[in-house]
Structure 1
């Protein structure tokens, strides 16, 4: 099972001190536990926006891909990329992966209001903008034939309640944070893998 991770610093594992505690290895371990032989490659790039997925998709397709997990959106939000623009770029990336025969699972933009750097007075606004961006992404992914894992619904309350889920920079996840994200992603990834194998 050729598992490819695409997207931004979260997909790449920034913040964790050990590679095995990042999304790629954690998801690969879950798939191996269900009987899959997994070849993992991480094409994600820290700082990537949805526009940067084009190059990552080319690399994934060139290396061969059965399942692509895409985590993107945080940098679009911090750089004020309009939702319709980022969503279209994500749609195009998912569509290309689907045409290459891959099952695609997407974790949409996180709710950035839980980040410590966001002033309390702005958190409601940031949360609303994050939700609107994620909703635009969700619709784009579905149109392109991908699957959306509703990671933010599960992990946002966890990250809001437990500072230990953040790394020292208070922005990226810690190892514990990555385990929480992987646990939320895993059911969708496992379902797509089972369908692909069938």
Structure 2
């Protein structure tokens, strides 16, 4: 029995740094592992749905509607800049404030609609590793591969962030960490258009 090469591609595509990795690591460090779980499960759900839609041929729709594709890119860029600003201005002492909280399940799932890295990995996986079945079979195959593998990826990065709190003991260390995360996330807002 051979392992479908799709799984290796998806794992490395999702494990490498991108908006989800940055946001989950930062949320794990900022709010802790358990409070970040709704965010984590929202990412897992949203990535699976996005990959499933790719299997149904949404890439063809986007190719035929360049204005829709541009609108998604602009929305993605603005949303990432907004979240990067939130990280840049984050103050560890205010992390318990009511207005500062991890993303909810719904927010994280909806973010995947404008997450350019997820779309890029899903579109590449669908074209490079097509399955033998029809569109619904392909949607199920891609959606389950992305969600299943992404669960492990998200657990790793959220845990890594939560463990970082032991190193981020001073305000200066915290500020450096959040600024690095903000710059990394902000850079993805530009890469959307490349």
TM-score, L = length of structure 2: 0.33
Structure with the larger RCO, 1 or 2 (CA within 8 Å, 6+ apart): 2
TM-score, L = length of structure 1: 0.33
Instruction: Select the structure that is richer in helix.
Output: 2
Max Rg structure: 2
Instruction: Select the structure that is richer in strand.
Output: 1
